[in-house]
Amino acid sequence: MKKVQPISPKVPVFLHGADYNPDQWLSYPGVFEEDIRLMKLAHCNVMSVGIFSWSSLERAEGEYQFEWLDHVLDTFAENGIFAFLATPSGARPTWMSAAYPEVLRTGANRVRNLHGFRHNHCYTSPVYREKTRLINTKLAERYGKHPAVIGWHISNEFGGDCHCELCQEAFREWLKKKYGSLDALNQAWWTAFWSHTYTDWGQIESPAPHGETQAHGANLDWKRFVTDQTVDFCRHEMTPIRELSPELPVTTNMMDLFEGLDYRKFADLLDVISWDAYPTWHENLDDSKLAAWFSMNHDLFRSLKGKPFLLMESTPSLTNWQAVSKLKRPGMHRLSSLQAVAHGSDSVQYFQWRKSRGSSEKFHGAVVDHAGHEHTRVFQDVASLGKTLEGLSDVIGTFTPAETAIVMDWDNRWAVKDAQGVRNRGIGYEETLLTHYRAFWELGIPLDIIGSEDDFSAYKLIVAPMLYLVREETGQKIERFVEAGGTFVATYWSGIVNENDLCHLGGFPGPLRRTLGVWSEETEGLHPDDRNELVCLEANQLGLSGRFEIREICEITHSEGAETLAVYGDDFYAGRPVLTVNRLGYGQAYHLAARVADASFYELLYGHIAQKAGVSKVLNSHLPAGVTAQIRSDGEHDYLFLMNFSGKEAEVELDSADYADVETGAAEERFVRLGVYGVRILKRRARRYTHQ
């Protein structure tokens, strides 16, 4: 049996709960007592407390008030409710901004913010760091051993950058450490271009709208610095906490494919990854594209540590920050929540428990509405999900047997979007990831989302869409992976620059050229009305057939040993290779030279490639469009999640008689009917996977 331990030995069941802000209600007698009653009714066992409570904990500098929090946590303990205790640094008290303006963030335009909002402090400021250390130490001393506390929630949704003088200095120090000499920095940033050569470290400034934005290497380093500085701030927050409560796990809540921070750099620091998922369901009748996007995110967050994660926030009904806020249709709450579980979450938590009475989130969905009682549709949906989760304890800690991975590097993403090249609007990096991901999602093939620095050896198939930035070492690693028998897939606009955003010399795709067996001579962007076509060659070894529309990006390639599977059908490109495969050692490397517009192409392509690579689908049967199957396993049993995002009723044929419904225990019929937004969890004897 293979499982990881539950996040807390005190709660070996699914965590179900919400962000809870009792400090907003201190002058409303009875609300807290009523909340406790409602939490039990909703089958909630955990609350994230104190996320933005700094001014309630320290009303004036050095004057701490913990009595309200003592009461909350003690009452939780008496009632079998647990807490993630937050450090309050996501928003700071007004007195602090007034007394120490250096804690306020300075924008790229060099204007310092006034007090207001949240998530807007300088992570470098010694004052902010000291104030954070003090409050975190107090919290850890007082609550580090509290029976209700099961873990730490550091700050809230880290993000953004500060351009103050302190941050400029820290950036220069970071660069000195990285490059050693100005000469090396000038080479890496290609500063002879437009006479930007630096002759003194003090001349270096962060990117600014009225200053430097065109030095791509500098932009990349700034983003890396911002990540490092934020990780360092998070580590700083954790120091007293680790010292005073070493046994409590630590997390910080992340956001979906957040661009500003390379989340992989947080993975080693944290004990468990958690994130906040806010799908805006029902923009279309068929929700499958959005569902695939959120599945991809769940897979990313699971892959960060290669183990189950926590869904730290989600909305029980609607959000209030998009243009139009729609309610979750009946069934969607259960489907959306169990989707996270299917992909490796060991919790379902919400923002928020009780709707605030005022300010900007008063209309954001919550378990308890302004009406204040349990007789609401949303409350009942939450309570019913809580009951379902109580029956799923066997799933806690189980793993996801992915034999396939998609490569997504933050620095590649930053570089490919910053490049001024073939498409300055619509390079579509994330969209491209999703297109490739979605094909596997429709096929029911589990995926990990990994970085170039992760271990490749556990996978049979690795797909790297638009890997524009490729280090020499990454190229060698991919080569070894293929030589050893792996299957690799790359696309157009790959192997173009190195880690400093300097173009690879001697022919693209640079360090991938030998592996892919092609030389990409030219790449162009197509206008919105331009088309080309991918035409499968007869009797190609992958067994593909048909013609598929190409849009947006085309590359002219020459085979250097790769076999052509499909050619361009149009323009002066006609007859040139567009899909190739190269044999190297025991493996194969595919190259797709153009952006194919038909989603059906990718399903066909990956269906064939996966089969050849020996990658198993979780279910050996056809899944209707918009219906996916995901799996968690403990090595003895597999838990199969069938999920219907198509907006229509659907039917799935099982591939053996060995299935039982996890919730009822009843043996399952051969054909499973899924209603609109239907989800079923079935159990079978575990199958064998190579990656466990």
Alpha-carbon dihedral angle through residues 417, 423, 425, 426, given to the nearest 10 degrees: -80
Is the CB of 51 or the CB of 605 nearer to ligand GLA?
Answer: 51
Residue 319 contacts ligand GLA per CB under 6 A: yes
CB count within 10 Å of CB 11 equals 20
Q: Among Zn ion, ligand GLA, none, what does residue 122 contact (CB within 5–8 Å per kind)?
A: Zn ion
Applying CB under 6 A, among 262, 287, 299, 313 the residue interacting with ligand GLA is: 313
Distance in Å, CB of 143 to ligand GLA, minimum:
21
Is the CB of 329 or the CB of 355 nearer to ligand GLA?
Answer: 355
The answer to whether residues 441 and 295 touch, using CB atoms and an 8 Å cutoff, is yes
Residues 287, 32: Cα–Cα separation, whole Å: 37
Distance in Å, CB of 107 to Zn ion, minimum:
10
The answer to whether residues 154 and 251 touch, using CB atoms and an 8 Å cutoff, is yes
Q: How far is CA 221 from the centre of its chain?
A: 22
Q: Among ligand GLA, Zn ion, none, what does residue 385 contact (CB within 5–8 Å per kind)?
A: none
Residues 173, 185: Cα–Cα separation, whole Å: 13
Residues 262, 231: Cα–Cα separation, whole Å: 9
Region binding ligand GLA by CB under 6 A among candidate stretches 313-321, 518-526, 602-610, 632-640: 313-321
Half-sphere exposure of residue 587, counting CA atoms within 13 Å on the CB side?
Answer: 24
Q: Among Zn ion, ligand GLA, none, what does residue 658 contact (CB within 5–8 Å per kind)?
A: none
Report which DSSP code applies to 566: E
Which listed residue (63, 102, 141, 157) is catalytic?
157
Q: Among ligand GLA, Zn ion, none, what does residue 162 contact (CB within 5–8 Å per kind)?
A: Zn ion
Residue 364 contacts ligand GLA per CB under 6 A: yes
CB count within 10 Å of CB 293 equals 20
* Structure-block tokens of residue 170: 């820290």
Mask of contacts with ligand GLA, 55-84, x by CB under 6 A? ------------------------------
The closest residue (CB) to ligand GLA is 276
Region binding Zn ion by CB under 5 A among candidate stretches 51-59, 116-124, 147-155, 607-615: 116-124
Is the CB of 167 or the CB of 383 nearer to Zn ion?
Answer: 167
Is the CB of 351 or the CB of 481 nearer to ligand GLA?
Answer: 351
Residues 286, 239: Cα–Cα separation, whole Å: 47
Is the CB of 163 or the CB of 438 nearer to Zn ion?
Answer: 163
Q: Among Zn ion, ligand GLA, none, what does residue 167 contact (CB within 5–8 Å per kind)?
A: Zn ion
Distance in Å, CB of 55 to ligand GLA, minimum:
16
Phi, psi of 632 (to 5 degrees): -125, 150
Is the CB of 23 or the CB of 221 nearer to Zn ion?
Answer: 221
Q: Among Zn ion, ligand GLA, none, what does residue 278 contact (CB within 5–8 Å per kind)?
A: ligand GLA
Residue 103 contacts Zn ion per CB under 5 A: no
Residues 257, 429: Cα–Cα separation, whole Å: 12
Please say if 313 is a catalytic residue.
Answer: yes
**486 φ/ψ sector (left φ>0, alpha ψ -120 to 50, else beta):** beta
Write 356-362 long-range contacts (CB < 8 A, 24+): 356/21, 356/24, 357/24, 361/320
Distance in Å, CB of 118 to Zn ion, minimum:
16
Residue 23 contacts ligand GLA per CB under 6 A: no
Residues 46, 82: Cα–Cα separation, whole Å: 4
Angle at 506 between CA 503 and CA 508, to 5 degrees: 65
Residue 122 contacts Zn ion per CB under 5 A: yes
| C-alpha distances in Å from residue 428, one per residue of 493, 551, 662 | 12, 12, 40
H/E stretch holding 235: helix 216-244
Please say if 603 is a catalytic residue.
Answer: no
Is the CB of 167 or the CB of 422 nearer to Zn ion?
Answer: 167
Which listed residue (33, 212, 247, 313) is catalytic?
313
Q: Among ligand GLA, Zn ion, none, what does residue 364 contact (CB within 5–8 Å per kind)?
A: ligand GLA
> Using CB under 5 A, which residues numbered 145 to 174 contact Zn ion?
162, 164, 166-167
> Using CB under 6 A, which residues numbered 198 to 217 contact ligand GLA?
none
Is the CB of 160 or the CB of 635 nearer to Zn ion?
Answer: 160
Report which DSSP code applies to 92: -
User: What is the DSSP secondary-structure string of 633-673?
Assistant: E-SSEEEEEEEE-SSS-EEEE-SSS--EETTT-PBPPSEEE
Q: Among ligand GLA, Zn ion, none, what does residue 262 contact (CB within 5–8 Å per kind)?
A: none
Residue 294 contacts ligand GLA per CB under 6 A: no
Residue 278 contacts ligand GLA per CB under 6 A: yes
Task: Give the pairing type, strands 46-49 and 82-86.
Answer: parallel
* Structure-block tokens of residue 40: 């039990």
Applying CB under 6 A, among 23, 35, 58, 157 the residue interacting with ligand GLA is: 157
Distance in Å, CB of 130 to Zn ion, minimum:
15
Q: Among Zn ion, ligand GLA, none, what does residue 124 contact (CB within 5–8 Å per kind)?
A: Zn ion
Is the CB of 332 or the CB of 554 nearer to ligand GLA?
Answer: 332
Q: Is the peptide bond preceding residue 5 cis, with omega within 30 degrees of 0?
A: no
Q: Among ligand GLA, Zn ion, none, what does residue 157 contact (CB within 5–8 Å per kind)?
A: ligand GLA
Q: In sequence order, what are the residues at sequence separation of 6 or more whose Cβ sits closer than 8 angstroms to the Cβ of residue 563?
A: 541, 580, 581, 582, 583
Phi, psi of 554 (to 5 degrees): -135, 150
Distance in Å, CB of 122 to Zn ion, minimum:
3
> Using CB under 6 A, which residues numbered 127 to 156 contact ligand GLA?
156
Active site residues: 157, 313
Residues within the interface to Zn ion (CB under 5 A): 122, 124, 162, 164, 166-167
Residues within the interface to ligand GLA (CB under 6 A): 156-157, 276, 278, 313, 319, 321, 351, 361, 364
